[in-house]
Structure 1
Amino acid sequence: MKRHFTYIAFGLCLLTSLFSCDKDPGIDDNFLNYKIEKIPATKDYTLGAFYINYGNFNPAILEVPSVGKYNFTNGVPAPAVMASHIQQAAKAKINYFIFSLRSANGNLSSYTQDSLLVRSFLNAPGGGDMHFALSYNLNIGSSTAAGQLPITNTAPIENFPSYLEGFYKDFERMTNFFKLPNYQKVNDKPLIIITPAQNLSSKDNPALYAELRRRVKAKGFDLYIVGMQDRWSPPQRFYFRFEKCVDAMYESKMVDTGDSPDRVYLFPQLVDQNWQYWKSYLKGVNIDFIPSISPGFNYTILNPSSKNLPLGRNAGGASEDEKANFYRDFCNIAKKSAPDNGLIFIDSFNEWRVDSQIESAESYGDLYLDVTRQEFKLNP
């Protein structure tokens, strides 16, 4: 109820400000009428880039990676491709890749495939020098086998004891990765992401997370847990699934604007306002807010009939440097909203299907790798 009063009070204040003017408001009076401030890096931000297994390179994708079009055979790219990706990440000064990990309890074959991708990274030249983290995927980490239901079902997970136990076991199993010297840590705690954490239905989420932490602690590790919530949503919407549960939160791809033209044409300002609010609110409940940025997004690559407007990529101008203006603005918004620990997510390194990748391409070269390094590191 308290949250509803907050929204009502905000709306009344906004109406009061609109109708108390001596003149009709114009564009100069709009609170979204501003340019994104350029914020020089005052420290080296800690950058994690989502690494995507997309299967086969779809022929509808016109961009060509600098390494050539590549597939994930049995979930793994060719060794030379992975080695090149690690080299590109080093050029961008990305600290770690984030790999999706599905449930061994719910889908053993998918878990095996995901594990092989992580192993291919670890075994590639340079893989031991770069860090990595895991993202536990709730949407595709579940099973409809007898006695189990998808974890996204609205029924609380406690109603299905076998699945609940499997859920805990999945995290206990992850400690084998946590033991590796190049697993990404925050304050000496292994970083683990849960996506989308809003779908983790429980009778008592704080108790669920407390038990999860207890079990992993018994294996020798305290966790830094990051929960992902759906894009373009207020932080209070699923407060009962995050507060007193996770250490940090982030919103999924903000560049996925749906069919809302306003979000496209006012994207930098709307995200800036959204993230400032998120950071302020979460600070009050002792949760870090982590910005997640992308250089672009385009649904129409694989779905030409989509009504969703493309966003970003090459929207800034004609020259090579101007092409990255959208991404530079996004980087500055992220710096403005970043937590004290400097964590920032990049979504993604190589998601070519929706044009959100920063991976090097034949058309734009290393442009987005260079911008990433220049915007987030002290000595680019």
Structure 2
Amino acid sequence: MKNIYSILFIALGLFSCQQEEITAEDHLISYDIEEVPVTEDYTVGALYVVNNWSSNIEEVPLAGHYLNGDEEAMKQHILWADSAAIDYFIFRYSYPTVNADNDILSAFLNQNTDSLLNFALRYNFAQMNLTKENTLEGQGKKEDFIQSFKDMIPYFDQPTYQKVDGKYVVNIIAANQFYCDSLELVYHELREEMSALGYDLYLTGEQTGWTPPARFEHYYFNALDAVTFTNMFNNAWYDRHVFLPQSLDQHWQYSKDYYMDKEGIELIPTVAPSINPKISNPNASTYIIERDTNFFWSILNVAKKNIGPSRTIIVNSFNDWNFNTQLEPADSYGSSSLQLLRNQTKKN
């Protein structure tokens, strides 16, 4: 018996020596990304974040190191975004309220006097401290949750508030962690009460990164209108790093069909021109995606290939310097990211 195993091992060794070296091109998802022509404008939203200027940031913003809510910086940001044909900024809206959020929203409304951009809100419920054991209803916060949307009405009443099919767009951060005893009932009551006031909602659930859609479908079905994956890039998988556009293409195709076929929920692709997780966490083991024209071109065309009914693409972000995902111009690359975004999403 030992001789038989010895012969098998020798044979396998000889066979393996005769094989050609395996290269990256042999990978299952090694294929070229093709350009999707812009035959109709895409709607582009950009996340606008609260910034804390880390000493690890190497890029030098053309607008300088501004404070959150600085109106001169906001004025310049609106002009830059308009030059790239960005349709709307998406601002965080926290419950309970956070001063930095309010300052940024006020600066935008004060400086967007020419209505160059629309805007929408990203609902942040993190301070509610929801867990599977301490749910929204269990903490007696359901009415607070619904009231917080009613508190948004002054923003909804702004002529530049973003809508889809006449419905008011609100993103929900970490929607897959919105722990309720009866999630469907909570969303149903929210929509019913807001509709009674004349405000139909278009709710988009943000999930940090891609997972197989069945994992969190119970947080979305009979609840949301759309799903997006906020962070496409912060991972430590080598093959996903090397073939990131192709990986996202496969993920988005599968998720788009799954959500739409089963529940009529739209997938909204989220893209970024680059990312450096080590700015915020120098010990991060995840990969850096350098700012590269070919990469951003590829990821935008993957997004266009997998677009949903509203033809919306979200960019994360306009100004998150702590992860180097910003579109905002810097000394090293100027406005090149903004220009590429416009060229790939607008007809003119």
Query: Match of 1:198, SS?
Result: helix
1:44 counterpart = 2:41: yes
AA aligned opposite 1:118? L
Match of 2:176 among 187, 198, 201: 198
Displacement of 1:26 in angstroms is: 6.7
Match of 2:74 among 56, 77, 82: 82
Equivalent residue number for residue 326 of structure 1 = 295
For the residues of structure 2 that align with 1:94 and 1:159, how far apart are their CA atoms?
A: 41
AA aligned opposite 1:220? G
Match of 1:67 among 58, 63, 66: 63
Match of 2:93 among 78, 89, 101: 101
Matched-pair contact (CA < 8 Å) for 2:54–2:279 = no
Matched-pair contact (CA < 8 Å) for 1:292–1:346 = yes
Match of 1:376 among 342, 345, 348: 345
Residue-by-residue CA offset, 1:310-365 (whole Å, 9 max, x unaligned) = 1141xxxxxxxxx3111110100000111122111000000000100011111100
The alpha-carbon distance between structure 1 residues 164 and 25, as it changes in their structure 2 partners (threshold 3 A), is: farther
For the residues of structure 1 that align with 2:21 and 2:201, how far apart are their CA atoms?
A: 50
What RMSD over aligned residues (CA atoms) do the two structures have, in Å? 1.9
Match of 1:138 among 113, 120, 125: 125
The alpha-carbon distance between structure 1 residues 251 and 25, as it changes in their structure 2 partners (threshold 3 A), is: farther
Equivalent residue number for residue 356 of structure 1 = 325
Q: Any unmatched runs of 5+ in structure 2?
A: 1-18
Residue-by-residue CA offset, 1:91-120 (whole Å, 9 max, x unaligned) = 1100000000000xxx34x1x431231111
Q: TM-score, with normalisation over the residues of structure 2? A: 0.90
Displacement of 1:25 in angstroms is: 12
**Stretch of structure 1 that moved more, 301-310 or 186-195:** 301-310
The alpha-carbon distance between structure 1 residues 326 and 121, as it changes in their structure 2 partners (threshold 3 A), is: same
Residue-by-residue CA offset, 1:52-101 (whole Å, 9 max, x unaligned) = 1113x2222110111122222xxx12x21111000000011000000000
Displacement of 1:220 in angstroms is: 1.0
Query: Match of 1:361, SS?
Result: coil
The alpha-carbon distance between structure 1 residues 229 and 303, as it changes in their structure 2 partners (threshold 3 A), is: closer
For the residues of structure 2 that align with 1:368 and 1:297, how far apart are their CA atoms?
A: 13
Matched-pair contact (CA < 8 Å) for 2:142–2:186 = no
AA aligned opposite 1:296? S
The alpha-carbon distance between structure 1 residues 348 and 152, as it changes in their structure 2 partners (threshold 3 A), is: farther
Displacement of 1:125 in angstroms is: 4.9
Equivalent residue number for residue 129 of structure 1 = 116
Equivalent residue number for residue 307 of structure 1 = 285
Count of aligned pairs between the two proteins: 328
For the residues of structure 1 that align with 2:322 and 2:132, how far apart are their CA atoms?
A: 28
Displacement of 1:31 in angstroms is: 3.1
Matched-pair contact (CA < 8 Å) for 1:338–1:344 = yes
Q: How does 1:102-121 map to 2 (within 5 A)?
A: 102-103=94-95, 107-108=96-97, 110=98, 112-121=99-108
1:253 counterpart = 2:249: no
Displacement of 1:30 in angstroms is: 4.2
For the residues of structure 1 that align with 2:294 and 2:333, how far apart are their CA atoms?
A: 13
Residue-by-residue CA offset, 1:262-284 (whole Å, 9 max, x unaligned) = 22112111111000001010111
Greater Rg, structure 1 or structure 2? 2
Residue-by-residue CA offset, 1:282-303 (whole Å, 9 max, x unaligned) = 1111100000000111112233
Matched-pair contact (CA < 8 Å) for 2:80–2:328 = yes
The alpha-carbon distance between structure 1 residues 89 and 154, as it changes in their structure 2 partners (threshold 3 A), is: farther
For the residues of structure 1 that align with 2:181 and 2:20, how far apart are their CA atoms?
A: 51
1:185 counterpart = 2:181: no
For the residues of structure 2 that align with 1:220 and 1:298, how far apart are their CA atoms?
A: 43
Matched-pair contact (CA < 8 Å) for 1:60–1:301 = yes
1:210 counterpart = 2:188: yes
1:32 counterpart = 2:29: yes
Matched-pair contact (CA < 8 Å) for 2:78–2:116 = no
1:282 counterpart = 2:259: yes
Query: Match of 2:188, SS?
Result: helix
Higher normalized contact order (CA 8 Å, seq sep 6+, divided by chain length): 2
Residue-by-residue CA offset, 1:219-268 (whole Å, 9 max, x unaligned) = 211111101123131111111110011000011211112x2222211211
Equivalent residue number for residue 263 of structure 1 = 240
Q: How does 1:154-169 map to 2 (within 5 A)?
A: 154-161=133-140, 163-169=141-147
Q: Any unmatched runs of 5+ in structure 1?
A: 1-22, 143-149, 314-322
The alpha-carbon distance between structure 1 residues 82 and 152, as it changes in their structure 2 partners (threshold 3 A), is: farther
